[in-house]
Amino acid sequence: MAERLAGQHVLVTGVTGFVGEALLHLMLTEVPGVRTSVVVRPKGSTTGEMRIAKLLEKPVFADVVAAAGGVPELMAARVGVVEGDLADVPPLPTDLDAVVHCAGDVSFDPPVDEGFTSNVVGVRDLLARIDEASAASGTDIHYVHISTAYVAGRRRGSIPEAPVDHEVDLEAELAWGLSQRQSVEHRSRSVDVLERERRKAERAHGRAGLLTAARATEVARRQWVKDELVRIGTERARSLGWTDCYTFTKAMGERIVERWSAAGHRASIVRPSIIESALERPHAGWIEGFKMAEPLILAYGRGELPEFPASADTIVDIVPVDHVVSAIVAVLAHPPAPAEPAFFHVSSGDRNPLTFNVLYTSVRTYFERHPFTATDRGNVRLPEWRFPGARSVERLLSTSEKAWKAADYVVGHAPRSDRARDMARRLHQQGRRLEFLRRYLDLYMEYATAELRFSDRRTLALYESLSDADRSTFAFDTAVVDWEHYFLDVHCPSVTEPVRKLDELRALRRKSAKTGLRKVGDKRDGVAAFFDMDGTLLSSNVIETFLWVRLRELDRLGRLGELGRMATRVPSLVQAERRSRSDFLRGVYRDYAGARLADLDEVADEHLTSHILSRLSPDAVRRIREHRRAGHRTVLITGAIRPLTRPLIPLFDHIEAAELEVDERGICTGHLATSPLVGESRGAWMKSYAAEHGIDMAASFAYADSLSDLPLLEAVGNPVAVRPDVPLYRHARRSHWDVADWASPSGSTRALDPAARR
């Protein structure tokens, strides 16, 4: 085959993907006479040439790079770069002999317009560019199209290496698919959708501010658009007999190729089944990224995949990537006659079937021998699959989802506590697990229950026509694969190795980190650390701190009366706090009416300082001191009145607190001098403060405990949720923020009257 291809110029798309990279490696190492060009799109400031240079620096290309004298030399001699992508296919070199099209959208559930753009429009436009190049050179360019065996859709039984039999109006479906985004975007702005999403956002984010809720509404609207485009594509595909939008649009892409071939061109269509790690080349187990089986294998190894919706005897058709690219090179070297497109299945199920039971048994055996270590309690307990059927698995998952939603609602409305937060953590993990199971159940149900056998007679005949040397170099007879060996000794070790290393690194981080936080950074100016007070630095709230001040001046009977009065106000204050943090603070601070501000300062200095300092979390104090040692400006932002922050003055460069309004005699009026600094006003104040003091907000830190402080946390590059309430905890986990559990000081008191006379 190397002789047949010698001197040819072959263009390849999709070389930054798994199959394309494996194909490029095989051609560079085993077909030295071929000159390759690759179509690669630039990414930002990274040009296509830079991306290919980076690709060739990978270890698998080390030998061929060394033989060429370096990456630049290899590219100059054998790898040309054509910058562009399928959304706007650039002009192609005019001296091409063949094109191998590996690029395309490989997601099972792309938004319908994106699936049509990549898998149909991209193919059509690439073939148009091939026609231009052929006209310029007078060469009949051989086009090799990489598709998928699953274009067969929801059929049953033996699938021949031939065109898919269907009567779909390609042009009508293409026009429909491309028009859906505009239609869905229009519907997403309807009153019904917007009102529903806005109400949900305001319930979740209203305390942080209406603009924060508005941003959340827009995020939800965009997600609705994406989900709706996926749903529409899936439903249309299934209504026409395909499993999903991916296989539907790939089948439409094949029809484009068939029409092009009928005009007198040479075209080959290669249909791999489920492509997984290499059996031998470039080395056993080589894989780039996670493919179809890896998430399921890893989830099973972690004990998170209790069942699978397949029958034990159903065939799962897997093929190693090195067999796929070897078949592609063989097809490339044996072009068909013009106007007679050739189809090739690269699959295993017809002659070397792998059942789900064999797959399960092999994977289970591997993890029994090489388990994941989950916790100090020992290794993960592996689920025992009984293959009860797809309907039973769906019922089990649906029941679990309903139970989770009920528990999540209860925890989300529970009072803040360590127990509630711990339950939120566990529910968060369970929720992610259920989301994973739902996603893969929906995606893989069709594949797990498919009863397809892809005939590979043409592919086998091609293999048998090769010389003995070529059969050894370009092996693609899948009948030789020993599945037990493949999973136990090749695939599972390969896909679990990086995960095990990552688990080790996480364990080391947990062991070495006292607070679970990243370091504050190198010593430098222009960085600030912003801290909330109540609930973050110390376990208190504005009602409690009001009582600290109020109760000390009353006798025993008066204290009981004041506590009773405040208790009757709690329901209305809670409602006010849920509606508006500003209204809540104003309601509490009205009770300071008649107090002398100077007396409040005196009470704080003489009676409350030791109590407030005793309530400070030692972890918080250490963190503040770390920032000060690093030269960072420390700033306290609180809704508490200023007198209560006096004990904290030594810790901070600036304190921004609530200012009580006083009359000409220094008596508090019950109003605030300015609007309270809460929610979005905190974020706005921080940005103004940063501009005034030359603060780099992207390098700065913020610490807070409530979802109402979301604008404060989002204003910096290093947000930290400290003992967060349940909504903030969820947001922090989704956003990959640090979460700190700063412990309360041992022996601290919860007395409401720490300074009163006994």
Q: Render the burial of 302-323: b for 16+ CB within 10 Å, e for the rest.
A: bbbbbbbbbbeebbbbbbbbbb
Q: Is 657 exposed, middle or buried (0-12, 13-18, 19+ CB in 10 A)?
A: buried
Q: Are residues 246 and 392 in the same domain?
A: yes
**CATH code where residue 451 lies:** 3.40.50.720
* Longest distance between any two alpha carbons in the chain, whole Å: 105
Residue 553 vs residue 35, higher pLDDT: 35
Structure token pair of residue 731: 């947001």
| Strand residue runs (E) in 470-608 | 528-531
pTM of the model: 0.81
282: preceding bond cis by omega (within 30 degrees): yes
With H, G, I as helix, E, B as strand and everything else as coil, classify residue 642.
helix
Question: How far is it, in rounded angstroms, from Cα 646 to Cα 602?
Answer: 10
- Alpha-helical segments (H) within 413-491: 418-448, 457-464, 468-473, 483-485
Inter-axis angle of helices 581-589 and 542-551, nearest 10: 0
Residues sharing a CB contact under 8 Å with residue 666, sequence separation 6 or more, in sequence order: 596, 597, 598
Is residue 652, in this structure, part of any structural domain at all? Answer: yes
Residue 604 vs residue 621, higher pLDDT: 621
**396: enclosing H helix or E strand:** helix 390-412
3-state secondary structure 264-283: CCCEEEEEECEEECCCCCCC
Inter-axis angle of helices 210-239 and 170-188, nearest 10: 160
Query: Do 104 and 118 meet the contact criterion of CB atoms below 8 Å apart?
Result: yes
Is residue 51, in this structure, part of any structural domain at all? Answer: no
Q: Are residues 223 and 252 in the same domain?
A: no
Is residue 260, in this structure, part of any structural domain at all? Answer: yes
Instruction: Please determine, for residue 525, whether its predicted confidence score (pLDDT) is greater than 90.
Output: no
Per 3-state DSSP, what percentage of the chain is helix, strand, and coil (rounded to 5)? 55, 15, 30
Last residue of a domain, one of 239, 262, 294: 239
Instruction: Please determine, for residue 209, whether its predicted confidence score (pLDDT) is greater than 70.
Output: yes
Instruction: Please determine, for residue 512, whether its predicted confidence score (pLDDT) is greater than 50.
Output: no
Residues of the chain above pLDDT 90, percent: 57
**CATH code where residue 571 lies:** 3.40.50.1000
Predicted local confidence at residue 752, as pLDDT: 46
Inter-axis angle of helices 294-301 and 418-448, nearest 10: 140
Query: Do 144 and 244 meet the contact criterion of CB atoms below 8 Å apart?
Result: no
Question: How far is it, in rounded angstroms, from Cα 253 to Cα 173?
Answer: 12
Strand partners, 721: 704, 739
Q: Are residues 174 and 101 in the same domain?
A: no
Q: Residue with structure tokens 């317009």?
A: 113
**Confidence band (pLDDT; 50, 70, 90) for 565?**
low
Q: Are residues 457 and 405 in the same domain?
A: yes
Predicted local confidence at residue 287, as pLDDT: 92
Strand partners, 12: 38, 100
Instruction: Please determine, for residue 560, whether its predicted confidence score (pLDDT) is greater than 70.
Output: no
Last residue of a domain, one of 214, 239, 264: 239
Question: How far is it, in rounded angstroms, from Cα 656 to Cα 614?
Answer: 22
Predicted local confidence at residue 519, as pLDDT: 66
Is residue 574, in this structure, part of any structural domain at all? Answer: yes
Query: Do 753 and 551 meet the contact criterion of CB atoms below 8 Å apart?
Result: yes
Residues of the chain above pLDDT 70, percent: 88
Q: What residues make up the domain containing 726?
A: 528-740
Q: Are residues 215 and 244 in the same domain?
A: no
Strand partners, 320: 276
Residue type, 56: L
Predicted local confidence at residue 540, as pLDDT: 61
Query: Do 462 and 330 meet the contact criterion of CB atoms below 8 Å apart?
Result: yes
The string of DSSP codes covering 501-514 is HHHHHHHHHHHH-S
Predicted local confidence at residue 570, as pLDDT: 55
Question: How far is it, in rounded angstroms, from Cα 25 to Cα 286?
Answer: 12
104-108, 545-549, 734-738, 750-754: least confident range: 750-754
Is residue 52, in this structure, part of any structural domain at all? Answer: no
pLDDT tens readout for residues 316-335: 999 999 999 999 999 999 99
Structure token pair of residue 76: 């100059």
Our count of domains for the chain comes to 3
Q: Are residues 703 and 597 in the same domain?
A: yes
Q: Are residues 188 and 160 in the same domain?
A: no
Q: How many CB atoms lie within 10 A of CB 444?
A: 21
Question: How far is it, in rounded angstroms, from Cα 245 to Cα 257?
Answer: 18
Q: Are residues 175 and 159 in the same domain?
A: no
Out of 27-36, 99-108, 669-678, the most confident range is 27-36
Is residue 477, in this structure, part of any structural domain at all? Answer: no
State the average pLDDT over residues 693-719.
93
Instruction: Please determine, for residue 667, whether its predicted confidence score (pLDDT) is greater than 70.
Output: yes
pLDDT tens readout for residues 729-740: 888 988 889 988
Question: How far is it, in rounded angstroms, from Cα 320 to Cα 26?
Answer: 14
pLDDT tens readout for residues 106-154: 777 899 999 999 999 999 999 999 999 999 999 999 999 999 999 999 8
- Alpha-helical segments (H) within 240-355: 245-262, 294-301, 321-333
Query: Do 127 and 256 meet the contact criterion of CB atoms below 8 Å apart?
Result: yes
Predicted local confidence at residue 697, as pLDDT: 95
Q: Are residues 307 and 429 in the same domain?
A: yes
Query: Do 42 and 53 meet the contact criterion of CB atoms below 8 Å apart?
Result: no
Give which of 460, 448, 165, 482 is closest to 317, Cα–Cα. Answer: 448
Structure token pair of residue 264: 């007198």
Q: Residue with structure tokens 């429909």?
A: 176
Q: Is 700 exposed, middle or buried (0-12, 13-18, 19+ CB in 10 A)?
A: buried
Q: Are residues 101 and 195 in the same domain?
A: no
Instruction: Please determine, for residue 506, whether its predicted confidence score (pLDDT) is greater than 90.
Output: no
Predicted local confidence at residue 410, as pLDDT: 79
Is residue 57, in this structure, part of any structural domain at all? Answer: no
Rg of the chain over Cα atoms, rounded to whole angstroms, equals 33
Structure token pair of residue 435: 């989301």
Last residue of a domain, one of 239, 269, 286: 239
Give which of 108, 111, 106 is closest to 17, Cα–Cα. Answer: 106
Question: How far is it, in rounded angstroms, from Cα 528 to Cα 444?
Answer: 49
Q: Is 128 exposed, middle or buried (0-12, 13-18, 19+ CB in 10 A)?
A: exposed
Q: Are residues 135 and 8 in the same domain?
A: yes
With H, G, I as helix, E, B as strand and everything else as coil, classify residue 736.
coil
Predicted local confidence at residue 510, as pLDDT: 55
Residues sharing a CB contact under 8 Å with residue 43, sequence separation 6 or more, in sequence order: 51
**Confidence band (pLDDT; 50, 70, 90) for 57?**
very high
Q: Residue with structure tokens 């003995």?
A: 468
Q: Are residues 105 and 232 in the same domain?
A: no
As a whole number, the mean pLDDT across the chain is: 86
Question: How far is it, in rounded angstroms, from Cα 40 to Cα 57?
Answer: 16
Is residue 90, in this structure, part of any structural domain at all? Answer: yes
293-307, 402-416, 541-555, 687-701: least confident range: 541-555
Predicted local confidence at residue 108, as pLDDT: 75
Predicted local confidence at residue 535, as pLDDT: 81
Cα distances from 40 to residues 45, 53, 100, 404, 739, in angstroms, run 14, 11, 13, 45, 40
